[in-house]
């Protein structure tokens, strides 16, 4: 069991060396995209919620 755990962590280190990490510019661009998409989805959800709210107010 101990050998399996040691082998696992050795493999993790090997795999982490293969990872291509994003540059700072790529990371900033991705962050901007995520924030913009979140804001758009929040606005869309708000509008849909207001529409559904008005429909239910009209029914009840």
Looking at the whole model, is its pTM more than 0.75? no
Query: CA dist 28 to 14, 23, 24, Å?
Result: 27, 9, 6
Phi then psi dihedrals of residue 23, to 5 deg: -75, 170
- Tens digits of residue pLDDT in 3-59: 999 999 999 999 999 999 999 999 999 999 999 999 999 999 999 999 999 999 988
């Amino acid at each position: 069991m101990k050998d399996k755990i040691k082998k696992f962590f050795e493999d993790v280190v090997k795999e982490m060396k293969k990872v291509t990490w994003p540059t700072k510019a790529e990371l900033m661009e991705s962050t901007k995209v995520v924030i913009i998409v979140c804001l758009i989805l929040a606005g869309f959800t708000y509008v849909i919620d207001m529409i559904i709210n008005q429909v239910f107010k009209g029914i009840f």
